[in-house]
Structure 1
Amino acid sequence: MDLSYSDAEWAFRTEVEQFLTQNLPAELSEKVRSGRALTKADHERWHAILNAQGWLAPNWPREFGGAEWNAVQRHLFEEACARAHAPRIVPFGLSMLGPVLQKFGSKAQQEHWLPRILSGQDWWCQGYSEPGAGSDLASLQTSAVCDGAHYVVNGQKTWTTLGQHANMIFCLVRTDKSVKQQEGISFLLIDMATPGIEVRPIVLLDGGAEVNEVWFTDVRVPVENLVGEENKGWTYAKYLLTHERTNIAGVGFSQAGLAAVKRLARSEMAGGRPLIENPHFAARLAQVEIDLMAMSTTNLRIVSRAAAGQAPGVESSMLKVKGTIIRQEINDLARRAAGVYAMPFASEAVEGTNDPLPDPNGAGPVAGQYFNNRKLSIFGGSNEIQREIIAKTTLGGRP
């Protein structure tokens, strides 16, 4: 899809495309294109390449080592990376914790943690959800009791994405049980090597184990690892979630996915003609492309507002809902276009070690992607909860 860009913006797009051509390792691009699982080393390699260019943190201010790009530049960069099949940057440190520390962290925390995020010295994961506190996050029960120079943390977090790779976790913990739920939560930074932490993998439907349970038993955390004020963590959590939900929209990756569906549909036959000429399939394809174009424009408006220093509000919930619906529709169209080639979806197929059918179009991983992305409408706050937030915020009364 094309937008009216200025000469400077076209020049920037060309610069990004040239950079990707020259610096994106072919083997990483092929892994992403074919839907194979990326290793920790793969992520770290691409992270280091972008950091050396100064492009790792496009949304960060320059004072913190970021590129400080405007909304259009970030949009163009994401689109170009998706077209080139570049690995998606792990967002937890860069897109979630980084903005929180920049807005609410102490100067000492900013000076210590932000450079380590950029250098890759720390790999962060997110400790929000619990078995009884997902979309109803304010009901979380993991406790942190102040004991002199430390907080003592006990409890459990779940659905911790890529926690098996992380050396640090930012957590919401309950520090006061006597007040309203939202008023007794604090935001802690915890070293995963601290005694008392156990990480247990959760095997998903596609055979992968990218999420985990994290258990805390008498884990001692220095009080200086408290972000902001005690019992003000809910404010910081909401700020972080608006950034997370905006990022979940994944406009560039939906655009790349849509292009892949079109390629498949042109090569796969239905009734003696290319699938893309099937009226029913073509109508679904056209509708999702229209929706994606509209969301792309909305995303630019919201990111522009964020770039001006305003945290996204209810708009981030709208993006989260629409973005996940679009990505799941694209996954479903890809699965239908792939036909019998979509049948293998076990972890062996994701890793490229099990290919029972000849697959000239590289369609094998689409079933795994389809099943894995069913989670999109649940994590980051379920779509049902986001619709409730939208209704309460826009029709009167705030959540």
Structure 2
Amino acid sequence: MNLDFSPEEEAFRSEVRDFLRESLPASLSDKVRSSQQLDKQEMEHWHAILNARGWLASHWPVEWGGTGWTVMQRFIFETETAMAHAPRIVHFGLSMLAPVLIKYGNEAQKKYYLPRILDGSDWWCQGYSEPGAGSDLASLKTRAVRDGDVYIVNGQKTWTTLAQHANKIFCLVRTDSGGKKQEGISFLLIDMQSPGIEVRPIKLLDGDHEVNEVFFTDVRVPVENLVGEEHKGWTYAKYLLTYERTNIAGVGLSMAAFEQLKAIAGLSPCDGGLLADDAAFAARMARIEIDLENMKTTNLRVLAAAGAGHAPTAQSSMLKIRGTEIRQGLSALLRRAAGRYAQPFVNEATNDTPVGPGWAGPAAAQYFNNRKLSIFGGSNEVQREIITKSILEL
């Protein structure tokens, strides 16, 4: 694979940069740069800007509103938006559910849901993990029993990111308990306004409300909300997870974070010199830079496979492992650079204000939050098992 940009790709990169200069609100990029949480309206605002340009669903087929971009164009767009500190696209509807609907959904589902994902009518969340069924997802117990033209759903989902904003949830549910546990799972689309659904917040260490518990009590779901075939949901879940794991890797985010770290190290005093000149710190940065360059190549290979209609397994697992480890390494070095100025959160009760440089305050909160990266989307231990089975056939 040729990793050099062609003249056409350089022209596209200039187009993306011009667009970001003209259309990315400074209020949004400032919040992203300082690691502040965006609210729903801000995330929707950025989606609307991209959708108006026709750039929101870069990986969708053109006939459903996609861009028709090449793998390199998508890589350029991801990188440039990250380097400009643009908000991340909320991927549950756009990059997780949509590929499943496009590949496995019926025509009615595609025609109804895909336009609503693009225009923001529907905000989706993901109903996968349960208490006792995280990395071992096939052990899920949320049950859907068919009753005429509806399913009756009972159970619980947990760690449901941004469910407090969602009006829809795509769920893995158990429709059969016989045979292998993977064989009795189905994929349902559920309206979050349905009677019997309760959302409870889970507060994180830094005080943010990012994830939730979702409870289902006799929730009635129309049978037409089943995606694909009954009991075949595990196939669709695995297909979706390859997109989620690629997204978790966050290559563009790591590139932007590394550039920020280099700039900080070049300005921060250390033992009479600069942090960038400290041998131990410089060695850690060099290790991350090497890993990041290697990950770029892997990312392009995975994107190429997905663009050709394949769902990579071992490759996306490799990307997920290295990507999350790199992002964790970057946040650890940023916290080291912040030193005593890093603090998990501001004490609102005493109205304390951060001290030190503006970037240092959120460094600890970001470090702690990023510990989850190697766990969700299938823990890195599970990803190593996938690689072992797929490549070594063990």
The answer to whether TM tops 0.5 is yes
Q: Does 1:367 align with 2:367?
A: no
Q: Deviations over 1:160-180 (max 9, x none)?
A: 000000000000000001221
Equivalent residue letter for 1:109: Q
Counterpart-to-counterpart distance in 2, 1:49 and 1:385: 37
Counterpart-to-counterpart distance in 2, 1:345 and 1:37: 12
Native 8 Å contact 1:328 1:373 kept in 2: yes
Native 8 Å contact 1:60 1:66 kept in 2: yes
Structure 1 residue 124, shift from structure 2 partner: 0.2
Counterpart-to-counterpart distance in 1, 2:347 and 2:296: 32
Partner in structure 2 of residue 6 of structure 1 = 6
Native 8 Å contact 1:345 1:368 kept in 2: yes
The match for 2:380 among 369, 383, 386 is 383
Counterpart-to-counterpart distance in 2, 1:112 and 1:347: 46
- Change in 2 beyond 3 A, CA 1:354/1:65: farther
Equivalent residue letter for 2:33: R
Counterpart-to-counterpart distance in 2, 1:160 and 1:347: 26
Partner in structure 2 of residue 42 of structure 1 = 42
TM-score by length of 2: 0.97
Partner in structure 2 of residue 115 of structure 1 = 115
Counterpart-to-counterpart distance in 2, 1:52 and 1:104: 27
Counterpart-to-counterpart distance in 2, 1:89 and 1:131: 28
- Change in 2 beyond 3 A, CA 1:250/1:138: same
Q: Deviations over 1:342-372 (max 9, x none)?
A: 12435859xxx96634333522111111111
Structure 1 residue 3, shift from structure 2 partner: 5.2
Q: Give the alignment of 1:238-253 within 5 angstroms.
A: 238-253=238-253
Partner in structure 2 of residue 77 of structure 1 = 77
Partner in structure 1 of residue 139 of structure 2 = 139
Q: Secondary structure at the match of 2:67?
A: coil
Counterpart-to-counterpart distance in 1, 2:347 and 2:113: 35
Native 8 Å contact 2:142 2:154 kept in 1: yes
Structure 1 residue 341, shift from structure 2 partner: 1.6
Partner in structure 1 of residue 89 of structure 2 = 89
Structure 1 residue 336, shift from structure 2 partner: 0.3
Structure 1 residue 209, shift from structure 2 partner: 1.4
Counterpart-to-counterpart distance in 2, 1:174 and 1:156: 12
Structure 1 alignment gaps of length 5 or more: none
Native 8 Å contact 1:138 1:181 kept in 2: yes
Q: How many residues align?
A: 393
Q: Give the alignment of 1:148-297 within 5 angstroms.
A: 148-297=148-297
Native 8 Å contact 1:377 1:383 kept in 2: yes
Native 8 Å contact 1:125 1:169 kept in 2: yes
Native 8 Å contact 1:159 1:212 kept in 2: yes
- Change in 2 beyond 3 A, CA 1:17/1:348: farther
Counterpart-to-counterpart distance in 2, 1:128 and 1:342: 34
Equivalent residue letter for 1:390: I
Counterpart-to-counterpart distance in 1, 2:95 and 2:263: 32
Native 8 Å contact 1:264 1:361 kept in 2: no
Native 8 Å contact 2:313 2:386 kept in 1: no
Native 8 Å contact 2:24 2:86 kept in 1: yes
Q: Secondary structure at the match of 1:267?
A: coil
Identity across aligned pairs (percent)?
66
Equivalent residue letter for 2:362: P
Structure 1 residue 395, shift from structure 2 partner: 1.3
- Change in 2 beyond 3 A, CA 1:355/1:365: farther
Counterpart-to-counterpart distance in 1, 2:272 and 2:352: 26
Native 8 Å contact 2:151 2:221 kept in 1: yes
Q: Does 1:128 align with 2:114?
A: no
- Change in 2 beyond 3 A, CA 1:380/1:346: farther
Native 8 Å contact 2:12 2:73 kept in 1: yes
The match for 1:358 among 355, 365, 378 is 355
Partner in structure 2 of residue 53 of structure 1 = 53
Structure 2 alignment gaps of length 5 or more: none
Partner in structure 2 of residue 303 of structure 1 = 303
TM-score by length of 1: 0.96
Q: Secondary structure at the match of 2:20?
A: helix
Equivalent residue letter for 1:257: A
Native 8 Å contact 1:264 1:338 kept in 2: no
